[in-house]
Structure 1
């Protein structure tokens, strides 16, 4: 293996046949390089979509009021469904429901502080909304249970509202006027995946008392304790049954209430990306096979060209195993170096793309939704793929070399 004469002979052969060596190495390097690009791109797409789902809790569910489309128990279709506070309590009791929050939208609301003012969206809610929508607290706290019970006039403002009204000054503990009613700022938040944090959050009970004078809700936000598609659909069915009984509509009437089950959407989307990954692997393996075929064809040519040389070696006493070993050593060396080059170039390109994407994305709190993220490849997969090509190249060289080494010297010397 470390015989200096052997290595000198191998390098001399490579130097003599530069084009052949280049083609052999290129087949190997290209196969590994393309596999890294394909796998990295597939991982980037999958990670990007998965990250977008993480902007809210993956097991989140939203329910909104609608209009009946099916007559039920003597009542005509076309009835508007109205949600109230007790609907949130009913949904919370459904087995499999985690946390829940009723929401009442005030829409665009006038906020003012000293000489600064502007219109922003106010969402009235309960403490659980923070967990459902994965809100990020930059400063202070979110709405808590005491705020709801005592109907406190407190508000959590988005980062953009804080910048617009308070500039560089401290906002926590200060009072802002919301439609001319003073509210104490207790927190500053950001929404994951959003570049415009112009929403404000205040206790549902306070808003209902001051601004609406009723207990109406626009929709319900909740999480469910499910990990499979079947479990989430079973909980969804129970929620429809519970609300259908409360509001007297057919639970199968999809128009009566709207329902978005994020876990169901997430599982179905990940199944699609799993299929895409399988497809990418098929293409990648096909690329590797193409590289293996290229190496095999070139090794057949190599052995054919060296048949006369093999005859001379055997005639002066070389054993068949030493002849085969010399050819295999050349094949393994070329495929190893070329495979490593393809591995470095492929993984390096993916890492470079990932680096520039992270630099351009900015802080996590300012990231917007993306469909491509962290396009890196598992290094173990890359190494195994390179080893596979090296073994394939060795086998491709061994079979014709063994056949040539078995030919009698006189026959090999006559080969043209």
Structure 2
């Protein structure tokens, strides 16, 4: 008796499956659940990763911000709990002493609670005095047909010009063209030279004016709020730590505080923060795949077990087939094809269900944010899985299911007809 891969073998497999519906469904559920959980976990992980990538997309990852603090140690004749105030010399020191590693250096100084008005409309904003390099570091971009940002002439000539947010423009000017118009800020007239945009509301409550203008108009003398600069040649955590140590010594020498006093000056290094986030991202991705693969394996083991049970139950039948002349290949394919059918059908069901679940997540929580106003940030975004990855995962499952059926099938091939006919 010789069985080929024709219609008869498919009918026989379907007949066997129908005779063991509950067992087949339970095994198939394990397969579907495995691929479903893998896709859902990948989608969830992608949602966190995409949010992280969006948050850091427009930031200069090689940038550092320096904030003044309060001393916690007595040093060089000064008592502890002394407030450190940065000044213009700190910017010059940053540019000149660290010119091998510093590309662009600047600073900011702010005047909060400024009422900006135009005709009968007004808004309350923070006026931030900045350098022209500010958009190269922060996610601030000039809107299309929105003029320009602060330039070097504005700094050198202390011009009274202002760059406003596109939302501020909508409130003050409505449908008018804002470029070239003058706004009033507490009795000071500023000409609008640019309109900027950002992602969400991060900077919506700020307007930008030349750094030098802010210091003079608002009597800031030569004080600054923070120092901001971009770096080069600092490609490792160790290199950044060494730079930070030297930088603390330089600024500490200028303001006479202990360089080891971490509270006197705070350093926000985006590169080291980015490396930490990348490490967390890699750990998350690995964890998702490990959990997903083990979930898949549970389904594959289920298929292997049911094939072993099938072989045991059909031992006598297999012996009769071999006695009648059935080839080992025909018996091998009989078991393997049953395994392939179960993993393919239920794997496809799991894949479709998983993609459907991630699409639902995308609709329901596809742009999850935390906080409000300037502190608003995206923490979950686009939790979907590429269809190619879903298909490859399903194909992998089918291949694994085929292998799961191969070993029970090989056991069936090795059964001797005499021993099979004696089996109960």
Task: Calculate the TM-score normalised by the size of structure 2.
Answer: 0.89
Matching residue within 104, 109, 132 for 1:104: 109
Q: Quick one: distance in 2 between partners of 1:34 and 1:337?
A: 17
Give the gaps of 5 or more residues in structure 1: none
Q: CA RMSD in A?
A: 2.5
Q: Quick one: distance in 2 between partners of 1:332 and 1:78?
A: 73
Matching residue within 291, 303, 308 for 2:299: 291
Matching residue of 1:151? 158
Residues 4 and 394 (structure 1 numbering): CA distance in 2 closer, same or farther, change over 3 Å?
same
Matching residue within 190, 199, 203 for 2:206: 199
Matching residue within 133, 140, 147 for 2:138: 133
Matching residue of 1:53? 56
Q: Deviations over 1:162-182 (max 9, x none)?
A: 122112221111000111111
Pairwise CA distance, 1:254: 1.6
Pairwise CA distance, 1:255: 2.2
**392-401 vs 95-104, which deviates more?**
392-401
Matching residue of 2:84? 81
Q: Quick one: distance in 2 between partners of 1:74 and 1:157?
A: 45
Matching residue of 1:336? 344
Pairwise CA distance, 1:34: 0.7
SS in 1 for 2:91: helix
Matching residue of 2:264? 256
Residues 16 and 213 (structure 1 numbering): CA distance in 2 closer, same or farther, change over 3 Å?
closer
Pairwise CA distance, 1:40: 1.8
Matching residue of 1:237? 245
Native 8 Å contact 2:155 2:211 kept in 1: yes
Residues 47 and 104 (structure 1 numbering): CA distance in 2 closer, same or farther, change over 3 Å?
same
Residues 213 and 388 (structure 1 numbering): CA distance in 2 closer, same or farther, change over 3 Å?
closer
Pairwise CA distance, 1:343: 2.4
Task: Calculate the TM-score normalised by the size of structure 1.
Answer: 0.90
Q: Quick one: distance in 2 between partners of 1:216 and 1:403?
A: 83
Matching residue of 1:174? 181
Q: Quick one: distance in 2 between partners of 1:400 and 1:370?
A: 50
Native 8 Å contact 1:224 1:232 kept in 2: no
Aligned length: 412
Q: Quick one: distance in 1 between partners of 2:409 and 2:244?
A: 66
Matching residue of 2:235? 227
Native 8 Å contact 1:307 1:412 kept in 2: yes
Q: Quick one: distance in 2 between partners of 1:197 and 1:75?
A: 40
Matching residue of 1:189? 196
Pairwise CA distance, 1:368: 4.8
Q: Quick one: distance in 2 between partners of 1:109 and 1:31?
A: 58
Question: Is residue 26 of structure 2 the alignment partner of residue 23 of structure 1?
Answer: yes
**303-312 vs 220-229, which deviates more?**
220-229
SS in 1 for 2:218: helix
Question: Is residue 213 of structure 2 the alignment partner of residue 210 of structure 1?
Answer: no
Give the gaps of 5 or more residues in structure 2: none
Question: Is residue 280 of structure 2 the alignment partner of residue 272 of structure 1?
Answer: yes
SS in 2 for 1:338: helix
Native 8 Å contact 1:332 1:394 kept in 2: yes
Pairwise CA distance, 1:356: 5.7
Q: Deviations over 1:41-86 (max 9, x none)?
A: 1222122133223453333322122233333333333433222222
Native 8 Å contact 1:193 1:367 kept in 2: no
Matching residue within 45, 69, 73 for 1:70: 73
The 5 Å alignment of 1:110-129 reads 110-129=115-134
Pairwise CA distance, 1:106: 0.8
**169-178 vs 314-323, which deviates more?**
314-323
Native 8 Å contact 2:63 2:228 kept in 1: yes
Q: Quick one: distance in 2 between partners of 1:120 and 1:171?
A: 17
